[in-house]
Amino acid sequence: MSVAATYGDEHIQTLDWKEHIRRRPGMYIGKLGDGTSADDGIYILIKEVVDNSIDEYMMGFGKQIEITIDDRRVTIRDYGRGVPLGKLSDVASKMNTGAKYDSEAFKKSVGLNGVGIKAVNALSSEFVIRSVRDGEARSVTFAAGVELSDRAESGVSEKNGTSVTFVADESVFGPYSYNFDFIETMLKNYTYLNAGLVIKFNGQPFVSKNGLLDLLNENLSEEPLYPPIHLMGTDIEVAITHGTGYGETYYSFVNGQHTTQGGTHQAAFREAIAKTIKEFYRKDYDASDIRTSVIAAISVKVEEPLFESQTKTKLGSKDMGPDGPSVRNFVVDFLKENLDNYLHKHPGTADLLGKKIQENEKERKAISGIQKKAREMAKKVSLNNKKLRDCRIHFTDKNPRADESMIFITEGNSASGSITKSRDVNTQAVFSLRGKPLNTYGLTKKVIYENEEFNLLQAALNIEDDIDNLRYNKIIIATDADVDGMHIRLLMMTFFLQYFPDMIRQGHLFILQTPLFRVRNKKETVYCYSEQERQAAIARLGTNPEITRFKGLGEISADEFREFIGENMRLEKVRLTKEDPIHDMLEFYMGKNSFERQDFIIHNLKIEADYVEDLI
């Protein structure tokens, strides 16, 4: 009997709210993850709860929020009005239940759909919500969304507010742990956007007096070209400066939500900067010359904002509100007046900015001829490009799997051959390097058009002009775990740090972790990524297991490679933070200070040798 013939009423299912969330968590919190990435689901759970407390503060209630994490138990306590006691269970367990449908109560709120707190509840093995209002309190306890108890109290002496305690369910997320650095960054962003709000994380207070100006100064990884410009207005705040590198850096927010993927407000901001500066200098500068090296932050407050997903990382709203102006006109008009006024009042800043734009223009024109020839060469080569094995789905496609698109940058034919044979041809592309690429540190951007290897790579990535049309969501450097492989990895990271730092800031660059050892007996095979894992595997598998040391990716068969670039793929995201001064790092590791670097290597080799000796 065919499958179609067995399709009947009994095959139609209706899931209740908690079952649907637990079966399809990605619809509610994005990816799950284990805590190694800032956008992993365990951090989204914290954000969903904190967002509700932030909304209370924005409405004028509660000046302090306390967050504590003890092992995996997270508690978030605010001092707002407290959830109405009669609806406490409903707000945590009934979908589409909340106060935010009433625009008067929560006019410019972060959370809108009454979904977030329910997702936290359903995805937690333990969940307790407690509200205190004028001496009365109520606590409701759940497990995986199932209500276990409901307790009311009278005559309590606690201050008004809401407390939520939860433990993310390991049966959903798998083994996980919290990275406190990621949480601190998220909480600091809340304080930058809500001047005067105090957030305590495990007892440490975070507070901001100067809003986005503090954010920009905190996150600058180099000395800015001029003191940041800080402008504030009704429902909008911006901070702007320029650095010395390539690319554009933006921190954009809507109603306190960090829109890491931008949206209509960020697009308007980029347009407004170029438009305003052109008019100020009365010169038809190219927009790219104005925006190259810009470091800026923008925050807007939109009534009933529309986001492109539940995780709210990209604004889709076209208007500021039902009766308000368009987002574009609002942002453009604000900068046209206020940025123009600032530059007139601060001629020193205007002079530095003008010189920077002229330098960018001079460099762009100097490489334009080279760029044209390089594009023609890349186009010809791409017709018969053996370096690139493309995939079918790209990041720019309107396809539900577009975010899965990735490209592996490998060294040599043997490694690329193994990955090519074992990859998913729909979402995984392979680009093969020929030997060691050029050390680009200190070289101008024209080198990537003159150098065939880099020219073909940027053509494959589709980033010749900018990274807006990047063809792959993940750029994965896949090299051997030996000295030469590590050197190639450094050279590739230098290339991206030097010319495309935005790709790193936006989370597109990764390092593929491949196993160093294979430990197996007749019943089981264990792949080990470190000496510690090898020792643990030997202890678990018993006496005399077979141990193989992989010297390079080319030694790993295609069948085995499927294990490492599929569901079990280990990726390490390359990150840039305020503690990472790009210029200083590149100067030390890739500059001409050979003797200083040699001493560093010898010293650390001694430490590594002592470590190995201790293991033995």
Query: Per residue in 166-176, pLDDT tens?
Result: 999 999 988 89
Report the candidate in 143, 340, 157 with the shortest Cα–Cα distance to residue 240: 340
Segment 23-50 shows an average pLDDT of 86
Pinpoint the alpha helices (H) of 82-225. Answer: 88-93, 116-122, 170-173, 180-193, 212-219
259 token code pair: 């829109």
Distance CA(338)–CA(361), nearest Å, equals: 25
Pinpoint the alpha helices (H) of 462-523. Answer: 483-499, 501-505
Q: Tell me how many degrees the CA angle 247-219-186 measures, rounded to the nearest 5.
A: 110
How far is CA 575 from each of CA 101, 181, 248, 310, 505, rounded to the nearest angstrom? 38, 12, 16, 25, 7
Specify the CATH class of 212-363 in words.
Answer: alpha beta
Distance CA(594)–CA(484), nearest Å, equals: 17
Distance CA(441)–CA(447), nearest Å, equals: 10
Segment 75-97 shows an average pLDDT of 87
Report the candidate in 544, 545, 578, 459 with the shortest Cα–Cα distance to residue 214: 578
Segment 553-566 shows an average pLDDT of 80
**pLDDT computed for residue 564 by the predictor:** 83
- pLDDT confidence of 311, banded at 50, 70, 90? low
**pLDDT computed for residue 597 by the predictor:** 63
Segment 310-319 shows an average pLDDT of 72
Do 393 and 351 touch, CB atoms closer than 8 A? no
Distance CA(320)–CA(317), nearest Å, equals: 7
Backbone angles phi, psi at 425, to 5 degrees: -65, -15
Helices (runs of H) and strands (runs of E) counted in the chain: 21, 22
**For residues 600 and 466, which has the higher predicted lDDT (pLDDT)?**
466
Bridge-based pairing state of the strands 161-168 and 124-133: antiparallel
Fold equal for 18-206 and 212-363: no
Do 339 and 273 touch, CB atoms closer than 8 A? yes
Specify the CATH class of 385-514+550-580 in words.
Answer: alpha beta
Q: What is the pLDDT of residues 326-373, one digit of tens each?
A: 888 999 999 999 999 999 999 999 999 999 999 999 888 887 767 666
**For residues 592 and 78, which has the higher predicted lDDT (pLDDT)?**
78
Report the candidate in 310, 293, 261, 264 with the shortest Cα–Cα distance to residue 123: 310
**pLDDT computed for residue 151 by the predictor:** 94
Q: Which CATH superfamily is domain 18-206 in?
A: Histidine kinase-like ATPase, C-terminal domain (3.30.565.10)
- Please check the confidence at residue 375 and state whether its pLDDT lies above 70: no
pTM of the model: 0.70
Domain ranges of the chain: 18-206, 212-363, 385-514+550-580, 517-549, 583-616
**pLDDT computed for residue 12 by the predictor:** 60
Segment 444-461 shows an average pLDDT of 84
How far is CA 567 from each of CA 349, 419, 423, 424, 547, rounded to the nearest angstrom? 51, 15, 12, 11, 24
Most confident of 99-108, 202-211, 295-304, 426-435: 202-211
- Please check the confidence at residue 433 and state whether its pLDDT lies above 70: yes
Report the candidate in 461, 442, 475 with the shortest Cα–Cα distance to residue 592: 442
Q: Could you tell me what percent of the chain has a pLDDT over 70?
A: 85
Least confident of 37-51, 78-92, 112-126, 219-233: 112-126
Amino acid (one-letter) located at 18: K
Do 289 and 364 touch, CB atoms closer than 8 A? yes
